[in-house]
Amino acid sequence: MPFDVNNIRQQFPILHTKIGKYPLIYFDNGATSQKPQVVIDCINDYYETENANIHRGVHHLSQVSTEKYEQARKTIQTYINAQHDYEVIFTQGTTDGINLVAHSFGKLLNAGDEILISQMEHHSNIVPWQMLAEERGLVLKYIPMNQAGELEMGQLDNLLTDKTKLVSITHISNALGTINPIEKIISAAHKVGAKVLIDGAQSLQHMQIDVQKLDCDFLVFSGHKVFGPTGVGVLYGKEALLNAMPPYQGGGDMIKKVTMEKTTYNGLPHKFEAGTPNIIGGIGLGKAIEWLAEQDLEAIKEHEDELLTYATAQLSEIEGMQFYGTSEAKGSTISFLIEGTHPYDVGTLLNQQGIAVRTGHHCTQPIMAFYKIPGTIRASFSFYNTKEEIDQFIIALKKAVSMLS
């Protein structure tokens, strides 16, 4: 069937609300996505009819909850093509997943070992490595970027050495929309024996990711950006690596046996899932991934590319427009400033007209320092957005600029 954006929109109840007298136009998908009715129903139904703690319970509700939680893990395994379901670790989100790897994989590293990131990373993929480097005497390097918001790939071979133990890189920049050549980065890193973590927070909702084809060692992403609940995410890791890493947290479910003298740890995935998890978060994420798997990802990409091209052309006609992130390979995100205006003021006036965008540094202060700006206005699209919404956005933006001039 041809891609039908109106049919998609009918599945998202929040898209039919109003902000004051204006219909909501939601262009803040880089921060969080909206949720289809099937995910909302899944959450409601669980709490109404199935709520119980999982694992080890002998009663009916516990067994039902456990089965649904573990089925969600298998759904995610299939979607990202992990070899085993126990390579899928439920986390609190992308940030938690990166911190888990920094804590656990980090304990396998020694003083003088090197970690490589990039200049365009989200703070969540910078700060944990800075903390780890300081704690263990590691060397933290970064791949610089150019004015177009692309990584300087010509410097990669010089940055990678036999001391490089991990490369942690964003697939798509949340601030610029740049799609990084992760296949090349993974291949180059593996040649020097380094492992690779891919931050997929901005990519899994826009394209198919096959972890076996990519041969990445770790992948992290957040549920709330892929049409699922907040407070849940996934760390994928290769079995051998996860087995070699010590637990991240201690507590219930991550143990085999506890005595007052010694504890032995559980196997995967439970070794990294201490305590009562976000059960409905995991189940809801599984439902969101199941729903996403039913969509035509090629048609989605084509639609989002059209939105990006159309919006860029319309914005280019506004006097004083300055784009940040002009890479040829881009996701459906536009960051910009308009001469003579402050992004916060523009965002506030757009909100008064029912339009949701993000303003500020987008948790990427090194990017803003590179461009010598305090922040940008960011419009980030999903496949439920339309050209008609972009038209209204342009009208509202021109009105805001005229009010601030």
Helix (H) or strand (E) holding 322: strand 321-324
And the tokens for 264?
A: 């032995």
**Is-contact 312 252, C-beta < 8 A?**
no
> Angle of helix 127-136 relative to helix 94-104, nearest 10 degrees?
10
Residues 190 and 218 sit within 8 Å (Cβ to Cβ): no
Sort 265 into a burial class: Cβ within 10 Å, 0-12 / 13-18 / 19+: middle
Q: How far apart are the first and last CA of the chain?
A: 47
The 8-class DSSP code of residue 346 comes to: H
CA distance 304 to 388: 14
Question: Of residues 207, 363, 373, 394, which has the active-site annotation?
Answer: 363
363 classed as catalytic: yes
For 96, residues 6+ apart whose C-beta sits below 8 A from its C-beta are 233, 235
Q: What amino acid is encoded at 23 in this protein? A: P
Report the C-alpha gap between 348 and 387 in whole angstroms.
Answer: 22
Q: For residue 361, count CB atoms less than 10 angstroms from its CB and return exposed for 0-12, middle for 13-18, buried for 19 or more.
A: middle
Going from the C-alpha of 58 to that of each of 55, 65, 270, the distances in angstroms are: 9, 11, 19
Residue 166 carries which side chain, given as an amino acid letter? Answer: L
Q: How far apart are CA 58 and CA 245, in angstroms?
A: 31
By annotation, the residues acting in catalysis are 363
